[in-house]
């Protein structure tokens, strides 16, 4: 059997394996409101709210406005920045008491899950979908790639 057919067979089998087991979000548990209320909200109140509140929003970041997990999921951008700063050890800044490493690690792990979480139970609006036809070359290449047969079927199609 020629090497190119073996390569296609291997790619096909790998594709089947990946299609059977979604990677990523399905492997990690969804963030919960209970975790937000017991872990993140107290962390923010204790370590972040002095500098990141409605009156004194350092870096234009007010973390006290987020009262629930739903609010966090609605506006993830500030939390992506929080996650970045916590991972870098930049917050709280030098000279200010900070959380223990274990507490920081728990919040980082939870924020990584929350910021990247995709709720698959809600319908997703894909936006405007543009449908287009393949041109003759694209069609011939698709037949060749899918079936491993070099046929020029599109050459026999009627003109538009």
Identify any residues that bridge with 57 across adjacent strands, giving them in sequence order.
52
Confirm if 82 and 91 have CB atoms less than 8 A apart.
yes
Alpha-carbon gap, residue 86 to 75, rounded angstroms:
18
pLDDT value for 2: 67
Buried b / exposed e over 14-25, threshold 16 CB at 10 Å, is: eeeeeeeeeeee
Confidence of residue 141 (pLDDT cuts 50, 70, 90): very high
Average of pLDDT values for 140-148?
A: 92
DSSP 9-36: HHHHHHHHHHHHS--SGGGSPPP-HHHI
Res 69 pLDDT > 90: no
Average of pLDDT values for 45-72?
A: 77
pLDDT value for 124: 74
Structure tokens at 98: 């900070």
């Amino acid at each position: 059997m020629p090497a190119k057919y073996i390569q296609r067979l291997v790619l096909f089998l790998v594709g089947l394996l990946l299609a059977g087991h979604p990677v990523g979000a399905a492997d990690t548990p969804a963030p919960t409101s209970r975790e937000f209320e017991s872990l993140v909200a107290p962390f923010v109140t204790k370590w972040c709210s002095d500098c990141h509140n409605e009156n004194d929003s350092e870096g234009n970041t007010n973390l006290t406005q987020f009262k629930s997990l739903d609010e966090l999921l609605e506006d993830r951008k500030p939390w992506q920045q929080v996650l970045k700063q916590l991972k870098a050890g930049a917050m709280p800044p030098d000279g200010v008491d900070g959380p223990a490493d274990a507490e920081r690690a728990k919040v980082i792990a939870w924020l990584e899950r929350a910021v990247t979480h995709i709720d698959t139970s809600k319908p997703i609006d894909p936006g405007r979908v543009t449908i287009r036809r393949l041109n003759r070359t694209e069609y011939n290449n698709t037949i060749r790639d899918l079936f491993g047969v070099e046929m020029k079927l599109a050459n026999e199609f009627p003109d538009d």
